[in-house]
Structure 1
Amino acid sequence: MNKKKKLLLFLGMAALIIVLTGCGTGQVDQSSTGIWDRYIVYNFGRAIKFLSFGNAGIGIILFTIVVRIILLPLMHFQNKSMRKTQELQPKLKELQEKYPSKDSESVRLLQEEQQKLYSEHGVNPFSGCLPLLVQLPIMMALYQSISRIPSLQEGTFLWLHLSEPDRLFVLPVLAAIFTFLSSKLTSMAQLEVQGSMKVMNYGMPIMIFVMAINLASGLSLYWVVSNAFQVLQTLLINNPFKIRKEREEEEQRKRELQKALRKANRPKKKRK
């Protein structure tokens, strides 16, 4: 994905956050009107209360786990697409060398060839953004349900008032740590880590930390559980240590095969 597309995606996500945050004010209950308030925010609150077992914090934790389980097929698709994209990196580099993007014509040809290559191998370069795009409205609906539904506004969990920031900074720190671990494990599974990925590995945890110290601790709790789930899922399904070991073994087999071929093709010395 080129820089312009990444910028457009970022601006689109920022616009989505602004729109959803401003979708309504005031308390939400069964008499609320509008699709966002009545059918999304209110029902999110109902789901959390159903899962609460007397404590809203437990409801948020269980709700987060349910959401992550529902998103598992999408995450699996993302991981498969990312691995395919990584396998195409050598060919993509060849195209970039062939079309160095020094003029508009070479840029156009490069984009056409890249799209053709993606299509031939069934790769969607935007698939890595899908889980994030899906989770954005979920996070905003969760945030508004905590801050606008009276029974959740008054909810507590351990030392937390769920509609207020965590004054001890425990959840912001944990959210940042698990966000970093999730990004780091994902990047470790890639053949080549690009500069943008390195920036995301450190920039995203910082952004999550800053947001978590200012927003409702119920949302921070969602981030902690969601990213901890992501770390566990990565280790179980897309373990980067296992992937790296498999690649090293494959490279070792290739070296041994090349060595055997060179030895087989080496001219034999004639006996005297």
Structure 2
Amino acid sequence: MGNFFDTILAPFKWLVSAILWVFHEGLTKLGMDPSNGWTWALAVIGLVLVIRALLIPVFFYQIKAQRGMQAMQPDIVKLQAKYKGKTDQVSRQRMAEEQMALYKEHGTNPFAACLPLIIQMPFFFALFQVLNSVSKSRDAGHAIFLLNPEQVRQFDDSKIFDAFLSSALLHPQPGDNRVSVVVLSILMILAMIATQFYTQKQIMSKNMTAEALNSPFMRQQQMLLYVLPVVFGVGGINFPIALLIYWTVTNLWTMVQQWYVIRRMPTPGSQAARELAERRKRKGLPEKVLLGTPKNRDGEAAAGAEEPAPKPVRNQPVRKNRKKK
């Protein structure tokens, strides 16, 4: 099983090492010490920026899918009421078929909300394995994909705040400062949990309609609100400091990106949409149709959705008939 997992992650480990190598070489040429922990920490941050930039199209697909999920909640409630109390296999199959038809109609699917997280996980595990193999590769004098033996040694020796980047709260490295490792790890785990929690919370508090807030979809979101931070918090005690940097910066990117989208392109009918309409009204700007405005079955904007102000009609001058000679 381990060999199979390593085979699956091999391309991701190659890509992770390549991005780290590019940023480390670039920072070194800018004058930073190649053995300094901050050089490698910035290389890890560069890895985050590259991966998240590549995921921007996936993020916008996620927004569209989430809004489709919210728009279909009234239909889901009706479907559940239709099949309430029916436990036979035929009814369950018909309900599943009708539910899949609703997903198709609204252009969404139940896994879209987790898509960016799912895509990032191979890179996360690849970086985890690269960090775990640093010390072993250094002792053997081996390279790690594009990281040559000298860079592996530099990475293994790198520190920030007197704590090795390869040290974890429960897995100390020989010669590290345990106080620095414990304090830095705990602070970063708390930052990781806080950013994860706030990102999910701002979606539910401002970017959901009243119908979505009282739907099964909302119950799933509430579960993720508390489960994901706990999962990463518990797992964080085993994460090397470099990996904590990676995930905390990833959460910060997500938080800022989500804040921007909620402010500029909120879900129609949500509190954020009303706040956007008020800001535009105060500035004397016309209302506009928001990204992902739900449509009714006739293809028209749903009730309550913002519509663009009608364009003024320009009266064309009437041409007078010339007098006949």
Q: Scaled by the length of structure 1, what TM-score is found?
A: 0.73
Corresponding position of 2:92: 107
Unaligned ranges ≥5, structure 2: 28-33, 139-151, 169-180, 278-286, 288-302, 305-325
Instruction: Choose which of 156, 159, 163 in structure 1 pairs with 2:159.
Output: 156
1:139 aligns with 2:130: no
Q: Displacement, 1:89?
A: 0.6
Q: 1:167 aligns to what SS in structure 2? A: helix
Which residue is equivalent to 1:172? 189
Structure with more relative contact order (C-alpha pairs < 8 Å, separation 6 or more): 1
Using the alignment, how far apart are the partners of 1:136 and 1:41 within structure 2?
12
Distance in 2 between the 1:42 and 1:179 partners? 28
Q: Which has the higher helix share?
A: 1
Q: Distance in 1 between matches of 2:220 and 2:264?
A: 19
Identity %: 25
Cα deviations by residue, 1:82-136 (Å, 9 ceiling, x for unpaired): 0111011111111110112531222211111111122122222222222121111
Q: Residues 180-209 of structure 1, C-alpha deviation per residue, up to 9 Å, x if partnerless?
A: 111112333233343232121112112211
| Residue 251 of structure 2 is aligned to residue 232 of structure 1 | no
1:64-99: per-residue Cα shift (whole Å, max 9, x none)? 111111111101100111011101111111111011
**What is the distance in 1 between the residues matched to 2:56 and 2:85?**
38
Choose which of 231, 235, 242 in structure 2 pairs with 1:211: 235
* Residue in 2 that maps onto 1:64: 48
Q: 1:263 maps to what in 2? A: none
Could you say if the C-alpha distance between residues 209 and 60 of structure 1 is closer, same or farther in structure 2, counting changes exceeding 3 Å?
same
Equivalence for 1:3: none
Q: Indicate the residue corresponding to 2:142 in structure 1.
A: none
Larger deviation, residues 66-75 vs 210-219? 210-219
Q: What runs of 5+ residues in structure 1 fail to find an aligned partner?
A: 1-17, 25-33, 255-272
> How far, CA to CA, are the matches of 1:98 and 1:125 in structure 2?
21
Partner of 2:208: 190
Over alpha carbons, which structure has the higher Rg?
Answer: 2
Question: What is the RMSD computed on CA atoms of the aligned residues?
Answer: 2.7
Q: Structure 1: which amino acid aligns with 2:114?
A: C
TM-score by length of 2: 0.62
State the partner residue of 2:148: none
In the TM superposition, what whole-angstrom CA distance separates every residue of 1:227-270 from its partner, at most 9, and x where no partner exists?
A: 000000001123499541425879xx95xxxxxxxxxxxxxxxx
- State whether residues 12 and 122 of structure 2, in contact with CA within 8 Å, keep that contact through their aligned partners in structure 1: no
Map 1:1-272 → 2, pairs under 5 A: 23=5, 36-37=9-10, 39-52=11-24, 53=27, 54=34, 55-100=39-84, 102-103=86-87, 104-149=89-134, 150=138, 151=152, 152-165=155-168, 166-168=181-183, 169-188=186-205, 189-191=207-209, 192-193=212-213, 194-239=218-263, 243-246=270-273
Structure 1 pair 81/247, CA: closer, same or farther in 2 (3 Å)? Answer: farther
